[in-house]
Structure 1
Amino acid sequence: MSVRGLSEKLGIIPHTYRVLIWSGFNHDNLFAMLRAMLVASLGHGGTTAKAQPLMQYQTLIVIPRPAGGYYIVNSEKGLVDPNNPHLTGTDTCDPLLLMHP
């Protein structure tokens, strides 16, 4: 998903993020969920062992949804939008947070 964010230095900039809509939290482990998303993103042959080293490059934020539940937003510099290879990921969620004071 491409999301536009605001950079104090660059103005409005687009980045690619993975977004999961989650209804609520009970005993969910966000980091385990992120690792599972990474395994899926690796495609055929993706394993937890292959995803684990990638965890250090992830950024993760949780934003409440007006309709209830949460957006779980994740990105990394190596993430590329399959529909637009010019849109890449980021190692920070600051551009998103700057838009929503």
Structure 2
Amino acid sequence: MKKQLAKAVEIGVETLNYWVISYALSSMTMVFRADWLFVLFFASNVWLIGRYYDRTAAVLDSRKWAVPVCALAFAAFVLFVYRVGLVQGSVMPFAQRN
């Protein structure tokens, strides 16, 4: 029972980390969508999805159960972004000192 609870807590923490980091990367991807830095943030987000899947598969000891868990986490993230939106903004240079 303790092992199952520990696995659930670890997957919960990994999912929360995935959501927070993916939200930040997605927001930065949209801010830099007209710049070459777009590629950097997009690639980092793709890497994060792969890392989340690998970590979930390792915790669950099953790749077949990791797929639906990751799909549910991704769907919940997409629903959150759809309801709340991404951070809006523009790139501004650092202030110059006189």
TM-score, L = length of structure 2 = 0.30
Structure holding more strand per residue: 1
